[in-house]
Structure 1
Amino acid sequence: MGARRSGAVVAGVLSLLVLCLTGYGWTQYNNLVAGLHTSDALGGDTKSANGDTNILIMGLDSRLDENGNALPQDIYDALHAGDQQDGGNNANVLMLLHVPGDGSKATSLSIPRDDYVDIPGCPDGQCKGKIKQAYGLAFDQKAKQLVNEGGDKSQREQQEREAGRKAEIDTVRQFLGGVPVDHFAEVTLVAFFQIAQVVQPVTVCLNEDTQDSYSGADFHQGRQQINAAQAVAFVRQRRDVVHPQLNFTDLDREVRQQAFISSLAYQLKQGGVFTNPSQLQGILNVAKQNMAVDAGLDLMSFAGQAANLTGGNISFVTLPIVKFGKNTSGEDVNIVDVAQVQGVVRQLIGGTAPAPPSSSAPSSAGSGAQAGQATVDVVNGTSRTGLASTVSHALAAKGYAAGTTSTDPRHVSRTVVYYGSGGSTSASAVAKLLGGVTTEHDSTVPSGHVRVVIGTAFTMPSALAAAGGGTSGGQPSAPPASGGGASGSQPSAPPTSGAAGAPDSSAPPNGLSGGGIPCVK
């Protein structure tokens, strides 16, 4: 089983916890803190300015609790994810939650778990690897050091976890260009399941019928209510054994997690869960058992910042990859352009580090002078499902920030790049990438954005399709699903998912917004 059944832990556990505290009071807060696992792994590194807060959420694929103990068999059965022998200590879910101090829209950055990066300190002798592996490598290295020391098993477990946390935090911070990590939260697979048990049923929405025996997913098109076990399958699915044409990949799972957070937060606020003492206590008990946070995180203070997240005041962004590749051992990895990734991060949430030197990543990532200068919004003016997603992802692979995607029911024949004040140069560069299409001024286009309206005559240029990991036909290609151990899990491909409102049926990895129940792949 191994990584084929690797867990997916939703980052919303932290937001949900602090939201619960806003209505639960000081006494309950003290009771929670007394039983919550805390960590000193962050150290005294640089903090965010202007009252901003960056929180790294790490979801472990371990099938154990926070003390390293096995779970009850009925939970393993419900999880459909193996038992204590499966999983490991990889950080299979990595999200950086940026909450601005001025109360403006928060941003959740999803970091694809198979991104091939440098690992600071070379834990266990490995200096490069998938970004998710930093935790497990440092955990294993510490375990080897402690093997002959004896003592309490749970104390050794916590020392090993501390080493893993520090390594993962350092790796993420370096990869993102020195962005401050003010706080962190670590949650396990069972934490997500138990949260879902407390608040079930949860309403989700799918664009297609889909079925997968590996994760246990079996969903129909449209909105539906799911229980806790189905929720685990919803956020873990990365293949479809009945509908292979859907081309599921790891990044589709990233978007599923984002969609679940959005749906859950929306429902909790609408349904009054935050005023239900029984449900609140259940959520807080889960936090005590299967969650760890840094010792400096004042949950009551942060709750004031996080309280508006359930109102949809959050955007979800999946950081770009260049292509799928292999490492020196032949394992599937995501090839990334570090300069491109760090540029996207600086644009979205700022940072402390200067712009990095030119990347050694493949030139297909695209880092010319025009890259990163505009946010590109894409409108699908055709009947081709998912075309806006495909174009958006391809342009993101060329260095542009992906904006919104939508579908115009009034089909148009021409493809046009519209620009507002000062956007002529960026529009011309985008138009060139799209095959030399027309540009036009439109005063309604926001500064720093261009709007691409795709017409029925559009054909994706082969060079642009290759940069986006897809084909000139407009549909991204995906590698075959593959199993493997801790470092050999399947590669990722661009997800296609919808967003709330009037979405394209297949929105780009960077385009999901909170505020409702989005329909996704």
Structure 2
Amino acid sequence: MGREQRPRWPVIVRRTALGVVSVLVLSVTGYAWTFYRDFSTGLTTSSALNGDEPKSKDGATNILIMGLDSRLDQNGNPLPKAIYDQLHAGDDSNGGYNTNVMMVLHVPNDGSKATLISIPRDDYATLVGAPDGIAKEKIKQGYGLAKDAKEKQLAAQGVSDRATLEQQGREAGRKQTVDDARAFLGGIPIDHFVEVTLVGFYDLAQALGSITVCLQGPTQDSFSGANFQKGVQQLNAAQALAFVRQRRDYVHPELNFTDLDRERRQQAFLASASQQLKSAGTLADPAKMSALVDAAKKDIVFDSGFDLLSFIQQSSSLVGGGVTYVTLPIKTFGQINGEDVNLVDLNQIRTMVRTLVGGTPPPPTTLPAVTVNVVNANGQAGLAGDLEAALVGKGAVKGVASSGRSMLSQSTVYYGTGGADAANAVGTMLGIDDVESDTNVAAGTVRVVVGTDFSMPAALTAPTSTAPTSAAPPAPSSSTAPPATSSSASGPMDALQGGSVPCVK
């Protein structure tokens, strides 16, 4: 697999619906426990979690919900043409293996006030283990890269069965996505996961019937099929797809849609649909509940260790207003290697996640007395000296600040013999995930190479540099602050509360 080249206005944009169905599946099960015996029969399960992963403490549960941009079944075969026609989403040649929806659902041990955290799909992140040789990419691409690497490995061993390659490739992709999400969020436990493909959303939306949503103003988009008026309105399954995947409006350009607005649309749909489950008699209608359970079985994968019955008994908050919806912030929109990405402040994100779900220690505020050398491969004038001074201010021993021979896209912390703990502390403080041993680094010494993905953490103050200001600009070209990070109704920093029909852009 090569790197994805995303055009400014891609034709296929049916991606944001994918994770919505998974949350609704969990919401449905919270009230449909009487269907449990039937519901648990025929589920597709995965062994991507081997049981050795860190677990949440005190009975809380973190569930990673991944929406897979695939138009194929679990064996890699095309779906019936009638389904493609219903989805208006192209055919088996469209889509791929990006996890275009990534959400973490945190349910506390008492079942009260759950939190759903959306990770924007284009956040630029370190991919654990560098699948297919790619160490840094948009977080959504880890699944497909790991799947491709696994299939290559199997093919080299003589495996040629298409179904085997597909299934084992997807297992590798699931594990990669869990690992990437855990690392990106600062090491929080991922207890379980749910994976869903595009067709699952349509099936569940169809089983639900009409859904009530509210728009702040009129909007339309020929790419997604969206054509909505201002105010409260009822949507069928096809309109629901358009609602959750719209990310442009040429008729009303002042709306300035971004991917982050689609995150908000997803959350609004979930809040509205969950409210409807409780208030519209759906949960008391055996025929409709059976249709919802049947929809939940299609193209949805649960990890094999997920005890649904225990979760059902815990999940009373998922329907009727017990969920707070949060989108992680981004720092700016940018480009790396010609691709549009979201540049983020990992320290900001991890601090936010700790506040929301707990479970991980805060970044260190001081460093051990280890010598730290800083190499500036970022291009920002004076960065090495500023960072060196800041680290010394936190307890490190002053080393050498220098400029690299060329700019690098990835930041890395290297350490010599006996320096692992100190290097990890430095990496955590700086928000650098890639920490490696290097025989060229002296014992007890740490070398920090800051690439174009690095920005000084807000909590790490440094003196103003006296270096000249004529250095080359950093490689991530970015001058557009994301409009959705403001305090507007569609901003990701504004938590959306369940229990009603929220009005969104």
**Residue equivalent to 1:144:** 152
**Residue equivalent to 1:463:** none
Question: What is the identity, as a one-letter code, of the residue corresponding to 2:39?
Answer: L
Larger Rg: 2
Q: 1:322 aligns with which of 319, 325, 331?
A: 331
**Residue equivalent to 1:41:** 48
Range with bigger deviation, 333-342 or 64-73: 64-73
Quick one: distance in 2 between partners of 1:515 and 1:40?
35
Q: 2:350 aligns with which of 336, 342, 345?
A: 342
Q: 1:222 aligns with which of 222, 231, 234?
A: 231
Question: What is the identity, as a one-letter code, of the residue corresponding to 1:196?
Answer: A
Q: CA deviation at 1:42?
A: 1.7
Question: What is the identity, as a one-letter code, of the residue corresponding to 2:58?
Answer: N
**Residue equivalent to 2:89:** 81
Q: CA deviation at 1:75?
A: 2.4
Q: 1:367 aligns with which of 459, 463, 467?
A: 459
Residue-by-residue CA offset, 1:5-56 (whole Å, 9 max, x unaligned): 2422354433433444455456x43333331111111221110011110000
**What secondary structure does 2:232 align onto?**
strand
1:126 aligns with 2:113: no
Q: CA deviation at 1:510?
A: 3.3
Residue-by-residue CA offset, 1:107-130 (whole Å, 9 max, x unaligned): 111000000011011111101000
- Aligned CA-pair RMSD: 2.4
**Does the aligned pair in 2 maintain the 1:217–1:234 contact within 8 Å?**
yes
1:516 aligns with 2:500: yes
**What secondary structure does 1:108 align onto?**
strand
Gaps of 5+ in 1: 370-466, 471-475, 478-492, 499-505
Q: CA deviation at 1:354?
A: 4.4
Quick one: distance in 2 between partners of 1:515 and 1:497?
20
**What secondary structure does 1:5 align onto?**
coil
Quick one: distance in 1 between partners of 2:72 and 2:30?
30
1:91 aligns with 2:133: no
Q: CA deviation at 1:103?
A: 2.9
Quick one: distance in 2 between partners of 1:517 and 1:342?
30
Query: Could you say if the C-alpha distance between residues 495 and 13 of structure 1 is closer, same or farther in structure 2, counting changes exceeding 3 Å?
Result: farther
Q: CA deviation at 1:513?
A: 1.1
Q: 1:262 aligns with which of 233, 254, 271?
A: 271
Question: What is the identity, as a one-letter code, of the residue corresponding to 1:519?
Answer: C
Quick one: distance in 1 between partners of 2:58 and 2:250?
49
**Residue equivalent to 1:30:** 37
Residue-by-residue CA offset, 1:120-162 (whole Å, 9 max, x unaligned): 1111110100000000100111122233634643332211110
**Residue equivalent to 1:14:** 22
Q: 2:316 aligns with which of 307, 314, 325?
A: 307
Quick one: distance in 2 between partners of 1:225 and 1:37?
32
Q: CA deviation at 1:68?
A: 2.4
**Does the aligned pair in 2 maintain the 1:81–1:215 contact within 8 Å?**
no
Question: What is the identity, as a one-letter code, of the residue corresponding to 1:303?
Answer: I
Q: CA deviation at 1:468?
A: 11
Range with bigger deviation, 171-180 or 301-310: 301-310
Question: What is the identity, as a one-letter code, of the residue corresponding to 1:130?
Answer: K
**Does the aligned pair in 2 maintain the 1:91–1:132 contact within 8 Å?**
yes
Q: CA deviation at 1:176?
A: 0.5
Quick one: distance in 2 between partners of 1:25 and 1:512?
27
**Residue equivalent to 1:357:** 429
Quick one: distance in 2 between partners of 1:351 and 1:33?
30
Quick one: distance in 2 between partners of 1:496 and 1:241?
24
Residue-by-residue CA offset, 1:447-475 (whole Å, 9 max, x unaligned): xxxxxxxxxxxxxxxxxxxx9955xxxxx
Question: What is the identity, as a one-letter code, of the residue corresponding to 2:499?
Answer: G
Quick one: distance in 2 between partners of 1:229 and 1:517?
19
**Does the aligned pair in 1 maintain the 2:326–2:492 contact within 8 Å?**
no
Query: Could you say if the C-alpha distance between residues 7 and 334 of structure 1 is closer, same or farther in structure 2, counting changes exceeding 3 Å?
Result: same
Q: CA deviation at 1:353?
A: 4.6
Question: What is the identity, as a one-letter code, of the residue corresponding to 2:242?
Answer: A
Figure out how many residues of one structure are paired with residues of the other and give that number.
Answer: 395
Quick one: distance in 2 between partners of 1:2 and 1:73?
23
Quick one: distance in 2 between partners of 1:515 and 1:181?
26
1:331 aligns with 2:336: no
Query: Could you say if the C-alpha distance between residues 178 and 48 of structure 1 is closer, same or farther in structure 2, counting changes exceeding 3 Å?
Result: same
Q: What pairs up with 1:24-423 in 2 under 5 angstroms?
A: 24=32, 28-43=35-50, 44-147=52-155, 149-150=158-159, 152-327=161-336, 329-355=337-363, 356-359=428-431, 363=455, 366-367=458-459
**Does the aligned pair in 2 maintain the 1:6–1:92 contact within 8 Å?**
no
Quick one: distance in 2 between partners of 1:105 and 1:50?
16
**Residue equivalent to 2:423:** none
**Does the aligned pair in 2 maintain the 1:249–1:495 contact within 8 Å?**
no
**Does the aligned pair in 1 maintain the 2:430–2:456 contact within 8 Å?**
no
Quick one: distance in 2 between partners of 1:469 and 1:163?
35
**Does the aligned pair in 2 maintain the 1:100–1:106 contact within 8 Å?**
yes
Gaps of 5+ in 2: 1-8, 364-427, 432-449, 462-477
Q: What's the TM-score, normalizing by structure 2?
A: 0.73
**Does the aligned pair in 1 maintain the 2:182–2:188 contact within 8 Å?**
yes
Quick one: distance in 2 between partners of 1:517 and 1:66?
35
Quick one: distance in 1 between partners of 2:140 and 2:11?
12
Q: What's the TM-score, normalizing by structure 1?
A: 0.71
Quick one: distance in 2 between partners of 1:207 and 1:365?
36
Quick one: distance in 2 between partners of 1:496 and 1:340?
17
**What secondary structure does 1:38 align onto?**
strand
**Residue equivalent to 2:383:** none
Question: What is the identity, as a one-letter code, of the residue corresponding to 1:214?
Answer: F
Residue-by-residue CA offset, 1:339-383 (whole Å, 9 max, x unaligned): 1111111111112354221246665874368xxxxxxxxxxxxxx
**Does the aligned pair in 2 maintain the 1:117–1:130 contact within 8 Å?**
yes
Query: Could you say if the C-alpha distance between residues 57 and 495 of structure 1 is closer, same or farther in structure 2, counting changes exceeding 3 Å?
Result: farther
**Residue equivalent to 1:397:** none
Residue-by-residue CA offset, 1:149-208 (whole Å, 9 max, x unaligned): 346433322111100000111011001010000000001111011100111211111001
Residue-by-residue CA offset, 1:250-272 (whole Å, 9 max, x unaligned): 00000000000000000111012
Quick one: distance in 2 between partners of 1:130 and 1:181?
20
**Does the aligned pair in 1 maintain the 2:247–2:259 contact within 8 Å?**
yes
**Residue equivalent to 1:410:** none
